[in-house]
Structure 1
């Protein structure tokens, strides 16, 4: 079983002007929530660990968990609002975000909630802003420390400077996670923020030296790179009719994890043993999944039947 840790929120899209203001379309989102949904749709048993509001918006998030087949025993109901992420799309379908989340449930996950997380999970995924804002970040870091010697730890920084504008904080958490994560997936855009001008291969080598078994850099329409201590591969993007890129990176991560789970590659040693052909297959599968999401409005992640078997 996977446990995906982090935020669940509402992505709110502008739908154009109305006589009295604007029409809005609220859709379930949050990077970790999307990864959990992606894993469930790809046939993987998964639970979501995070704080969710007891209000009507939180109830909708809880219903989405149930509808998608995501385990909710690790959800922590809290008397706090739900974060709203306002999304505007440019002419190319690329999103910009404005977050309204101070004092919201996803940021208030207490350390006492760790008792709800089973010690039988095979893999954990962490990412996005809940790793850098308190008190939730301290709770999640405690979970990483508890589980890293037993289960696979996957991490995607998914930087949002309009949530935490101090890039130094993101660098600090990435450095901390690089000594504890087994799979580090990061976008080229995030690399440019974290280490302007640095060569991805150089950064990957540094992270591998710190203990990461597999580093993956997603490059949007240019595909993806992957490194282990023994291999480096470059995979092109899968063709797609672009609607928007919301959820594409989360889809890639969920599909990559699902591919690894289907083949029993959920340990640092198993990741290190992957050869170049296997890495290309893993990244190709993830790229195909991301292309499907890009062809649909919002974070509408694919199901297993939409992707090739084997």
Structure 2
């Protein structure tokens, strides 16, 4: 088993909550790619995080958290910026995030910051999420995509609040197309589809990404499970029944489980191999939903097996 290199953002989430009947925000280490990296480590696979951290105490907490979680830090760099805050509030099933910090600490990774040996040696390379909305980190991700010799996986992880210009959705759609064209796997959510492909169905969006060159496309649909398109026809998969308390990090845990599977079991060469792997990933996500927070709720394989013994 080799390792994964996960490129993207790390930040501090402030999660909406209540204490003694008053609204409060609970601090948690977060960022979609960071959640993915922690999830991979918790599932027993080696992983290195590649990204930029600020130069303050909060950044130190992120770095310490990664170490405690078993995530490698060879790809971390420190940049002169305060740590970005992601404020999460809940008005529906999905948390809404607003981000504070200009420039964002996670968006200052440049191509020159990359360790070519680290990227080239990775058996799986992940890129995606909101860090790619920042020109320096988008350039770094493009260089990593070119350097990578292993499997490439991509997740747009769309945050509508960051698409602040009329051209932003189309620009992001072009970025998604660019990375999907060279990806073994693309994972996105039904909410991502609504923003990227207005008026489309998840089936049509998955087919479009496959036509661009993606080997397989997995679209998560919350309580409705997921859809997998790796061959001629889409395959819907149900979500396990759980007692959900917080969906933060659920989609990231699906990607983490799929990456861990690629590391442990190798690439999927037959479309019929994907549904089993995605079904396991949905169980991981279900367990994440039963605990508050994102990265801190990522389970081990033993915990998944204990929760879903059948």
TM-score by length of 1: 0.90
Q: After TM superposition, give the deviation of residue 201 of structure 1 in Å.
A: 2.6
Match for residue 43 of structure 1?
44
Aligned-pair distance for 1:23?
3.5
* 1:298 corresponds to: 293
- Once residues 141 and 101 of structure 2 are traced to their aligned partners in structure 1, the CA distance between those partners, rounded to angstroms, is 18
Pairing 1:45-124 to 2, within 5 Å after superposition: 45-90=46-91, 94-115=94-115, 118=118, 119-124=120-125
Q: For 2:183 and 2:12, locate their aligned partners in 1 and report how far apart those are by CA, in whole Å.
A: 28
* d(CA) in 1 for partners of 2:117, 2:58: 24
User: How much does 1:83 deviate?
Assistant: 0.8
Moved over 6 A (4+): none
Instruction: Tell me if structure 1 keeps the 8 A contact 2:52–2:79.
Output: yes
Alpha-carbon spacing, 1:206–1:135, altered in 2? closer, same or farther (3 Å): same
Q: Deviations over 1:66-94 (max 9, x none)?
A: 0001000110111211110111123x553
Q: Is the 8 A contact 2:108 2:134 kept in 1?
A: no
Mapped partners of 2:101, 2:280: distance in 1: 34
Size of the aligned set, in residue pairs, is 299
CA distance in 1, matches of 2:242, 2:42: 20
Q: 1:261 to 1:204 in 2, by over 3 A?
A: same
Q: Is 1:235 paired with 2:232? A: no
User: Is the contact made by 1:74 and 1:116 (CA closer than 8 Å) also made in structure 2?
Assistant: no
CA contact (8 A) 1:6 1:106 kept: yes
TM-score by length of 2: 0.90
RMSD: 2.1
Equivalent-residue separation in structure 1 for 2:183 and 2:291 (angstroms): 31
Q: 1: distance between equivalents of 2:159 and 2:90? A: 16
Cross-structure match for 1:263: 265
How far residue 16 of structure 1 moved from its aligned partner, in angstroms, is 3.8
Provide the residue aligned with 1:139 in structure 2: 140
Following superposition, the deviation at residue 215 of structure 1 comes to 0.7
Alpha-carbon distance in 2 for matches of 1:297, 1:42? 19
Unaligned runs of 5+ in 2: none
Aligned to 1:178: 180
What CA distance in whole angstroms lies between the structure 2 residues aligned with 1:264 and 1:73? 24
Q: Contact 1:82–1:105 at 8 Å: present in 2 too?
A: yes
User: Contact 2:32–2:252 at 8 Å: present in 1 too?
Assistant: yes
Moved more, 2-11 or 119-128: 119-128
Q: Check 1:170–1:301 CA distance in 2 against 1; reply closer, same or farther (3 A cut).
A: same
**What's the secondary structure of 2:160's corresponding residue?**
coil
Q: Per-residue deviation at 1:111?
A: 1.7
Which position in structure 2 is the counterpart of 1:268? none
Q: Distance in 1 between matches of 2:44 and 2:10?
A: 21
Distance 1:136 1:293 in 2: 28
**Mapping of 1:201-212 within 5 angstroms?**
201-212=203-214
SS at match of 2:214: coil
For 1:152-163, what aligned pairs fall within 5 Å after superposition? 152-163=151-162
CA distance in 2, matches of 1:27, 1:198: 35
Bigger mean CA deviation after superposition, 68-77 or 229-238: 229-238
